[in-house]
Amino acid sequence: MAVPDPEPLPVLPPPPPLLPLRVRLARGETVPMLLFAAGGEAFVTPLSDVREAVDAPVLHPLPGASGAGLGGLALRGDVLPVTDPGAVLGVGPALGGAALVTAGAHPLVLLVDDVLDAVAVSPGDVRPLPGALTADGLLLGAVPAGPRLAAVLDLPPLLAALDLSR
């Protein structure tokens, strides 16, 4: 007796792209965020923008690296460019205790001090920042993070400001 061929699994369409963070918050969406420290300050960014976090990355020099580029990180057979977001964010240089690998077709590694926690941020949690701090479009506000506030970082504009946008 012959075994019938199994029916093929349906092909699922790719998920729709996520809306920009400011739109998601304006719609009242609670957004899962990653809390991290960079240059001695606390930040949160959507978990969907981060592919993974790496402890104490070992950086390798890259020929021709300049500007914000610090070198490369060998990760699963790829060498990804590493940058310190401190200058663009107006904070000190990152200590390099951890790194965030951005999601997307062309991942980039952001050197940070430490990855602290995953938190859910609802629009009611976000407090306004002084006008000068939001003019660049990188920071959308601040949220309570334990005893201090964490700046809400919109990652795509940061990558554009680093001139390493995807």
Q: Is residue 24 part of a domain?
A: no
pLDDT of 90 reads 85
Convert the pLDDT of each residue in 54-80 to its tens digit. 898 787 777 766 556 777 888 888 888
| Reported confidence tier of residue 166, pLDDT bands at 50, 70, 90 | very low
Convert the pLDDT of each residue in 28-61 to its tens digit. 999 999 999 999 999 999 999 998 998 987 877 7
Q: Is residue 9 part of a domain?
A: no
| Reported confidence tier of residue 4, pLDDT bands at 50, 70, 90 | confident
Q: Is residue 5 part of a domain?
A: no
Give the domain range for residue 130. 31-161
Q: What is the pTM assigned to this prediction?
A: 0.81
A 10 A CB-CB count for 23 gives 10
Q: Is residue 15 part of a domain?
A: no
Task: Answer whether 62's CB lies under 8 Å from 71's CB.
Answer: yes
| Reported confidence tier of residue 163, pLDDT bands at 50, 70, 90 | low
pLDDT of 53 reads 92
pLDDT of 50 reads 92
Q: Is residue 131 part of a domain?
A: yes
Q: Is residue 23 part of a domain?
A: no
Q: Is residue 86 part of a domain?
A: yes
pLDDT of 155 reads 86
CATH number of the domain enclosing 57: 2.40.50.180
Convert the pLDDT of each residue in 106-159 to its tens digit. 788 898 999 999 999 999 999 988 665 555 778 999 999 888 899 999 888 888
pLDDT of 131 reads 61
pLDDT of 45 reads 94
Q: Is residue 12 part of a domain?
A: no
Domain count, the chain: 1
